[in-house]
Amino acid sequence: MPYRDLQRIVEGLSRHIDAGPVATRVPAREIRRHLGQSFDLASPMALDEVFAKVTRMLDRWQVQVTHPRYFGLFNPSVTTASVIADTLVAAYNPQLAAWSHAPAANEIERFVLRAIADRLGLDGESTASHFTSGGAEANLTALIAALAHTFPSWRQEGLRSLPAAPCIYLSQEGHHSFHKAARVSGLGGSAVATIPVDDGGRMSPAALADAVAADRRAGHAPLMVVATAGTTGCGAIDPLNDIAAFCHHQKLWLHIDAAWAGAAALSPRLRHHLAGIDRADSLTFDAHKWLAVPMGAGMFFCRHSEALRTAFGQRTPYMPAPGGAHTEDPYSRSLQWSRRFIGLKLFVTLAEAGFPGVIERIESQARLGDELRRLLTAKGWQVANETPLPVVCFTRRGVDVRKLVRQLHHRQIAWMSPIRIGGGELLMRACITGHRTTVQDLEAVVAAMDGLV
């Protein structure tokens, strides 16, 4: 297998991206005109020409999220091994829906999911787990599993059979996929109660207790609390142990959304910040956010395998027969039916570097976050968020945040975004989840920002 040829191509492409622009700004009509003029699809075109045109479009007209100066939204630079793995997956195109169709692929996924579960402090043996397209699918799965587990009539009779309206609790800084999940599940948007946060963006346990008590008094059925381990905006980690104790006492399903910061729980140095993560009933953790693999590679872990069987269990005459003892068919345990071999890119990344190598990458990006905080403070910026994770929200008196963001993009200095925490003032936000980012990149960006304000 000439994987070295693929390696050369992928590494060449990475160097090419690193040397090019990071930001883009283009009206849709320019791309549409270009497509209309370049491809009529009426006659064949040589593949060389097709790919030359396509790569030129991808070079010019997208934010380059693998670029060392992309400080954006948890879209990491990716390992060469993971890109080769995704190419193999596309070429072999295994169908993982039924175990017996893809035994090797299904067992590789099981192997890697168990290894991760064990390192998160869950029991890999008894914890049900599967790959998802991403965090939003995993979060929806959590809600469905909580409904199936809590209300025995739900599977057959649906929401109309429930004795009271189920409620979901999420902090103000929690991910908005839960609002979608509430609508998709049929509960409706008003099922989600948003709980206030403290100055650090962390859910207030007292406010959570008040909200649950008020819902009980109103005759509702509190169902699930979502604790976020690493909020999207500012990297806040909700008080997981306090929330877990409350959920245990109140018999509520605890879902921990660790979509991006779950990676920190793999590190012996950072793990204590996520203490309590192992007390979740269900957990979301995306490999495509901070484990250096391409999208989409979400992971869903759940203590209650029976809830997944209840929610998703299905047999049909046309699917292949079950794979035999100690195997499960993923289509009958999860939302997806046909399934891509999502886990290979994570498996090869872990196999190549080992957990120590992967952890070193995570810790080194956490150190870069600290370094960025230090560099900014030294230049008179104020860091506005408090987190051990590499996401830095900052400002300086008199700075026009939107204008500065535009200038950074326009001059190809870096890609960052504006953010508001808890409805406060507009801040700059920089997040480091790319392993090609160096201290020199941070120094250059901080110096360039100084020249702009």
Closer to ligand PLP by CB, 175 or 449: give it. Answer: 175
Q: Report the residue number, 117 or 287, with the smaller CB distance to ligand PLP.
A: 287
Q: Rounded to the nearest whole angstrom, what is the least distance from the CB of residue 229 to ligand PLP in the complex? A: 8
According to the binding rule CB under 6 A, does residue 286 interact with ligand PLP? yes
Q: Shortest distance, CB of residue 281 to ligand PLP, whole angstroms?
A: 17
Residue 260 or 331: which CB sits closer to ligand PLP?
A: 260
Q: According to the binding rule CB under 6 A, does residue 259 interact with ligand PLP?
A: yes
Options 151, 260, 300, 381; binder of ligand PLP; rule CB under 6 A: 260
When the beta carbons of 68 and 76 are compared against ligand PLP, the nearer one is: 76
**Least Cβ distance, residue 73 to ligand PLP (angstroms):** 6
Q: Is residue 227 close enough to count as binding ligand PLP by CB under 6 A?
A: no
Among 262, 298, 343, 390, binds ligand PLP (CB under 6 A): 298
SS3 of the chain:
CCHHHHHHHHHHHHHHHHHCCCCCCCCHHHHHHHHHHHCCCCCCCCHHHHHHHHHHHHHHCCCCCCCCCECCCCCCCCCHHHHHHHHHHHHHCCCCCCHHHCHHHHHHHHHHHHHHHHHHCCCCCCCEEEEECCHHHHHHHHHHHHHHHHCCCHHHHCHHHCCCCEEEEEECCCCCHHHHHHHHCCCCHHHEEEECECCCCCECHHHHHHHHHHHHHCCCEEEEEEEEECCCCCCCECCHHHHHHHHHHHCCEEEEECCCHHHHHHCCCCHHHHCCHHHCCEEEEEHHHHCCCCCCCEEEEECCHHHHHHHHCCCCCCCCCCCCCCCCCHHHCCCCCCCCCCCHHHHHHHHHHHHHHHHHHHHHHHHHHHHHHHHHHHCCCEECCCCCCCEEEEECCCCCHHHHHHHHHHCCCCECEEEECCCCCEEEEEECCCCCCCHHHHHHHHHHHHHHC
Binder among 68, 72, 76, 134 for ligand PLP (CB under 6 A): 134
Contact string (CB under 6 A) for ligand PLP, positions 171-190, x = contact: ----x-x-------------
Q: Is 74 in the site for ligand PLP (CB under 6 A)?
A: yes
Q: Does 238 bind ligand PLP (CB under 6 A)?
A: no
The nearest distance, CB 144 to ligand PLP, in angstroms, is: 15
Q: How far is the CB of 266 from ligand PLP (least distance, A)?
A: 17
Nearer Cβ to ligand PLP, position 238 or 328?
A: 238
Q: 151 or 415: whose CB is closer to ligand PLP?
A: 415
Residue closer to ligand PLP by CB (options 174, 222) is: 174
Q: In this chain, which stretch among 14-22, 61-69, 135-143, 242-250 interacts with ligand PLP, using CB under 6 A?
A: 135-143
* SS3 state at 213: helix
> Which segment (160-168, 254-262, 311-319, 433-441) binds ligand PLP by CB under 6 A?
254-262
Shortest separation between residue 131's beta carbon and ligand PLP, angstroms: 12
**Contact positions toward ligand PLP, by CB under 6 A?**
73-74, 134-136, 139, 175, 177, 228, 232, 257, 259-260, 286, 298
